[in-house]
Amino acid sequence: MNQDATAGNIPRYYQSLDFEALWRDYPPAPDYFEGTYRMSRDALRAMQEQRLLRQMERAWQIPFYRRHWSARGMQPGDIRGLDDLAKIPPFSVHDLRDSVTSNPPWVDYIGIDPAEHAPLPLILQTSGGTTGLPRPMIFSPRDREVMNIVTGRRLYMQGVRPFDLVQVALSMGLTNGGVLAREGIWKYTGAVPVMTGSGAQTPTRRQIELLQAWKAKFLIGFPAYLRHMGLVAREELKIDPRELPVKGLIVHLGVDDRASLEELWGADAYDTYGCNECGTMAAECSHKRGMHVFEDAFVLEVNDPDTLQPKQAGERGVVFITTLFKYAAPMIRYNMNDVTSFAAGECACGSTHPRITKIYGRSDNMVKLRGVNVFPEAIGAIVSEDRRLNGEYVCVLEGADSGNETMTVLVETLDQSVPSDMLAAELADRLKEALGVRLRVETVARGGLDHLTGLSATSKIKRLIDKRRLPSG
C-alpha cells in the first residue's frame, strides 16, 4: 500500500502543474494561431527535436520500451535527434495488448507504479475493446491538459467561440472521445459542452429536440450518427435540419461523403483525426483542405507498411505517431494502421504545419477479395453518395466451400418507390466500377441494420462482420 496515499497526502489537480509554463510550451487558442501555427519549419523542427529527446528519456524509464527496444538492440542515447527517428523500432496495438502486467490496469506501457510512485491526479480511459477487456490508458495532469489544449485549438479552427453551445453526441464512458471533447470545450474554448452522448444515452429524437430548443451551433459525433440524426429530423419529426442553427459538424469524416452530409444539415463538416491514446492529432481548418498535424505535440509519419520507408506527398501509407508531451504512456512510433497520405501544397490559412488528406481506412480492416484490396470504409463512401439510401451499411464477409470469399453489402433504403432489386443491381455495378471487384448487395428497410451496426446504441459502429473467423459448427 502506498504510504503517501494513506497518509493524507492527496494530490490536488491545480497544484500538480505549472499552468503558465504549460501554456507557454503548448499555447491554447487563440495564441497558438499567432505563434506555433505559423512558425518557420526550422524553428518547428528544433522544437520537435528538443521535445523528442525529452520524450525518449522518459520512455527509457518505462518497462514496455526498455523491453521492446532492448530486445531490438537499441540503447539509451542511440537517438540523438529527429534524423534518428526512423531507427526506433515501431510497435502496434498488438504489442500493447501483449503488454505484460501482474497488476492491471497498471500495464507496463504506462510507467506509473502505485507501489513506488508519489500519487498524481490520474484519469483512466480505454480503447473501444471489441473483444475481451478494453486496453487501459492512464493520463497524468500534463498529458491531459495538452490533449485538452489541442482539442480547444481544433474547435477554434473550426469556428467554435465563447458561449457557443456544442452538442457532443459521443458516449461518455470508458472511451476517450466524449470525455475529452467535454474537457477541451470546457477548459479551452469558452463554449459550453452539451453532453447528449450516444443514441443509447439520449434518444435521437430527444437529441434533435434539444438541438432545436437550445440552438447548439456545433455538433460533434460520428458521421454515420449525425447522418442518422439529420434523417430522423427530416423524415420522422418533419424538421428540416437545414433550418436548425447548426453551422458546423465536427467529425472523423474518413471517406464518408462530405457533400451529402453538409447538404443534409446545411452546415460545414470538418474532418478530425485522433485516437484514445493521444487525443486529437490533426484537424482541418476552415479551408477544409486536409488536416493540419499539431506538430508541437506530435511527429506524424506516413510510411510504407512493408518497407517502413516514408511516403511522398500524395502517396498512401500508414500513420506512425510519436507523442512529444506524454508522461504516462508516451507513444513512440506507434503504428496506428490508419491509411492516409500527406497533402501536397500549402493551405490558404498560412499554417506551416503539414496536412494529411484523410483517413482512407484501417489497414487491418482491409479485406483482400479476389486479389483486390477492399476497405469497408470505401464501400461506405459510395453508399453515402446514393441519395436513395440513408448511408447505413454493413459488409458481411463469408468463406465459400470452393475457397472463394464473398462479400455482401447490406444497405438501408430511403426511397420505397424504386424496386429494391433494381437498386441493389445498380449499386453493385457502381461498386464494381469504383472498387474493381463485384460484391453482392442486399437492401433492407430503414433501421433494419441497427442490430448489426449498433448505430443507435454505441458510438463504435460496426461495418464489417467477418463470418470467416467464427468457429464452425
Q: Which positions touch Zn ion (CB under 5 A)?
A: 285, 287, 347, 349
CB-count burial class (<10 Å; 0-12, 13-18, 19+) for 402:
exposed
In the complex, minimum distance from the CB of residue 253 to Zn ion, in angstroms, rounded to a whole number: 15
Which stretches of 52-196 are assigned E, i.e. beta strand? 91-92, 123-126, 136-139, 165-168, 192-194
CB nearer to Zn ion: give 287 or 467.
287
Q: Cell digits for 76?
A: 539509451
Nearer to Zn ion, 37 or 375 (CB): 37
CB of 295 to Zn ion, least distance (A): 13
- Decide whether 228 or 292 has the Cβ nearer to Zn ion: 292
Residue 458 makes CB contacts below 8 A (sequence gap 6+) with 171, 198, 200
Q: How far is the CB of 22 from Zn ion (least distance, A)?
A: 25
Pairing between β-strand 355-356 and β-strand 291-293 as defined by DSSP bridges:
antiparallel
Cα–chain center distance at 50 = 27
| Residue 350 CB, nearest approach to Zn ion (Å) | 7
What's the burial of 445, exposed, middle or buried (CB within 10 Å: 0-12/13-18/19+)? exposed
With contact defined as beta carbons under 8 Å apart, do 137 and 124 qualify? yes
d(CA 100, CA 472): 32
Q: Is 274 exposed, middle or buried (0-12, 13-18, 19+ CB in 10 A)?
A: buried
Task: Tell me how far, at minimum, the Cβ of 349 lies from Zn ion, in Å.
Answer: 3
DSSP label of 83? G
Closer CB to Zn ion, residue 160 or residue 216? Answer: 160
Shortest distance, CB of residue 290 to Zn ion, whole angstroms? 8
Among residues 188 and 270, whose Cβ is nearest to Zn ion?
A: 270
In angstroms, give the least distance from the CB of 34 to Zn ion: 15
| Smaller CB separation from Zn ion, 333 or 353 | 353
In the complex with Zn ion, which residue's Cβ is closer, 154 or 228?
Answer: 154
Which DSSP helix (H) or strand (E) runs through 259?
Answer: helix 258-265
Estimate to the nearest angstrom the gap between the alpha carbon of 196 and the chain centroid. 19
HSE (side-chain half, CA atoms, 13 Å) at 45: 8
Nearest to 434 by CA among 343, 372, 362, 364: 372
Residue 129 or 159 having the CB closest to Zn ion: 159
Minimum separation from the CB atom of position 369 to Zn ion (A): 37
The smaller minimum CB distance to Zn ion, of residues 347 and 441, is found at 347
Q: Report in angstroms how near the CB of residue 4 gets to Zn ion at its nearest.
A: 46
